[in-house]
Amino acid sequence: MSMLADLVEVVIGVDTHSQTHTAAVLDARTGAVLAGITVPADPDGYAELVALAEQHSGVRAWAMEGTGGYGAGLARHLAAAEEMVVELDRPKRPARKAGAKSDPIDAERAARDALARTRLARPKTGPERAALQMRLTARRAAVEAATTAQRQLLAMVITAPEAVRARFRGQNTRAVIDTAVALRPGASTGDIETVTALTVLRDLARRIRFLQTEALDHEKAIRTIVRSWRPDLLELTGVGPIVAATVLTAWSHPGRCRNDAAFAMLAGAAPIPASSGKTVRYRLNRSGDRQLNRALHTTVLTRLQRDARTRAYAERRRTEGKTDREIKRCLKRYIARELYRRLESPPIPA
């Protein structure tokens, strides 16, 4: 397996920040630092970085961390210019001499780290993927905020004055929200505690309704994007719009993961060997993209309920002594393989 140093002659390491980017240009053969620069994190700065790189002849590559954060703009600029970009999780920092750290040092370290790699990750790309990522993030925030507001509403109902609490007695959560939305604090003749309780409960209920509507709007938009980009994913059992969108944002584009094992590792669904002597066992993988792992878990639960083949598999593994948790981990790995193959080789329309 070739290292990056065998493929290029120049590598540019970039340390990205919100306002500035610092780059170090290295000779891939000798490791010598050829140039360094700090530029604003804007289109003019990106053009200045490319101009610096073009001063050094030969095949080149860019090594960056934060391509999904501070470096997103630069990554898009380089992709549009058809530059080769290598995504780094993070430059190796434990070897800092006497705790040395600066932007030029981190940029140089990023380049040297990339030169030693044999497995090169490409940044996530594509307008559909970016749109799905934003929608998923916004939807998740709305759902979490609505859940928090709902807990606050139910807690305040319990501690509210009896005159207020009596209006909610015996109601389920949905009915409590409906009742709270219809409250009219201005029509109350109670004391300040009662009026305040009515006002706060109504405002919380309205906030919940607003956030639920927002989350639903995001979900509709996600469904539309998935259907226009990769509708074939929705044909798989247990894969709905949210699961499909989560999988697509993690996968991004063909070739980003070299095989299904790498995709499973990305999802935290690849078991880690922990055998010793005659004992053969595997340890739970707690790393990887936890949102992707959650999407696989959702698919597993759905298939255990609705898919006869999955239920038969689970029953067979139970007779072999596997626990339900172990069975779900196995299913996650199988589903990761199925999804990867579908992502890399979509069916050809008839």
Residue 178 — very low, low, confident or very high, per pLDDT cuts 50/70/90?
very high
The mean pLDDT of the chain is: 90
Q: pTM of the prediction? A: 0.83
Q: Looking at per-residue confidence, does 172 or 275 come out higher?
A: 172
pLDDT at 98: 52
Mean pLDDT (whole number) for 175-179: 97
pLDDT, mean of residues 42-63: 93
- According to the model, what pLDDT value does residue 1 have? 52
Which is more confidently placed, 134 or 122?
A: 134
pLDDT tens, residue by residue, 188-210: 667 899 999 999 999 999 999 99
Is the separation of the CB atoms in 201 and 153 below 8 Å? yes
**CB atoms inside a 10 Å sphere around CB 158:** 8
63 φ, ψ to 5°?
-115, 120
256-265, Cβ contacts within 8 angstroms, sequence gap of 24 or more: 256/121, 256/122, 256/124, 257/340, 258/119, 259/340, 260/336, 260/337, 260/340, 260/341, 263/336, 263/337, 263/339, 263/340, 263/343, 264/332, 264/333, 264/336, 264/337, 264/340
List of domains in the chain: 4-115 (3.30.420.10), 127-229 (no CATH), 232-344 (no CATH)
Beta strands in the chain (DSSP E): 10-16, 20-27, 33-40, 60-65, 85-88, 272-273, 282-283
What does the pLDDT read at residue 188? 67
State residue 96's pLDDT score: 52
Q: How far apart are CA 177 and CA 227, in angstroms?
A: 33
Q: What angle do CA 4, 6, 8 make, to 5 degrees?
A: 70
Mean pLDDT (whole number) for 33-59: 94
Q: Give the per-residue pLDDT at 118.
A: 74
How does residue 228 score in pLDDT terms, banded at 50, 70 and 90? very high
Share of the chain above pLDDT 70, in %: 95
Rounded average pLDDT over 303-326: 94
